Chain A
């Protein structure tokens, strides 16, 4: 827990995971080998899933990747300009946040497996949606935390 007192720890953890997600989202956008794996037939009678699928096919995930980079950059910038360590209350809040994010990530694994096993069509689209919501959610909460603890 002591390591969380250093604001750089938060920035480092967020940066490493964001770099992986941003790389995947930007690299796979419009990549021909990846686009081949997606569902093109609009087989579900759900306008939401068909819209999400066409968003990915058109390379929209690169914008999600850019959004991840932008939010992470804001968190890192705020961390660099913060002069003091976090106090024990702020460390407590940060630790709880990481635990909740970790639990959600662990719960996503069986959910993703169920999605693939139950219907492999749209499995990749579903995984991308889950990961986008999960990581953007974590980043936005972390940004709010960093802003509130900036002074």
Chain B
């Protein structure tokens, strides 16, 4: 799924590891989400959106992503 996580993470000046620690997942998980290899659960999507003060729809691009 396409998302704005990488763009926002870089704006916040965070590494993948630091962002992972903020939302309780590994660096590999953040990397896989950023590269679209892994779709997060609704709770992880919620935690990420909450961290960036956005809604889930604003953080993840549902319209341009393929439904699995």
Contact = CB atoms under 8 A, between A and B. Distances in A.
Nearest to A148: B28
A131 to B, nearest CB: 31
Secondary structure type dominating chain A contacts: helix
Nearest to B20: A87
B36 interface: no
Contacts of B25: 87-89
Interface string A73-116: 00000000000000111101000000000000000000000000
Interface residues of A, number: 8
A87 B26 CA distance: 7
Interface stretch (B5-13, B37-45, B48-56, B60-68): B37-45
Interface in A136-151: 148-149, 151
B64 to A, nearest CB: 22
A89 B44 CA distance: 10
Nearest to B24: A87
B29 interface: yes
A88 B44 contact: yes
B14 interface: no
Contacts of B32: 89
B28 A88 contact: no
B19 to A, nearest CB: 13
Contact of B29 (A87, A148, A151): A87
B51 to A, nearest CB: 15
Nearest to A87: B25
B47 to A, nearest CB: 11
B18 to A, nearest CB: 14
25 contacts: A87-B24, A87-B25, A87-B26, A87-B29, A88-B25, A88-B29, A88-B40, A88-B41, A88-B44, A89-B25, A89-B26, A89-B28, A89-B29, A89-B32, A89-B33, A89-B38, A89-B40, A90-B26, A90-B28, A90-B29, A92-B38, A148-B28, A149-B26, A149-B28, A151-B26
Nearest first, the 8 A-B pairs at minimum CB distance are A89-B29, A87-B25, A87-B29, A87-B26, A89-B38, A88-B41, A89-B32, A89-B28
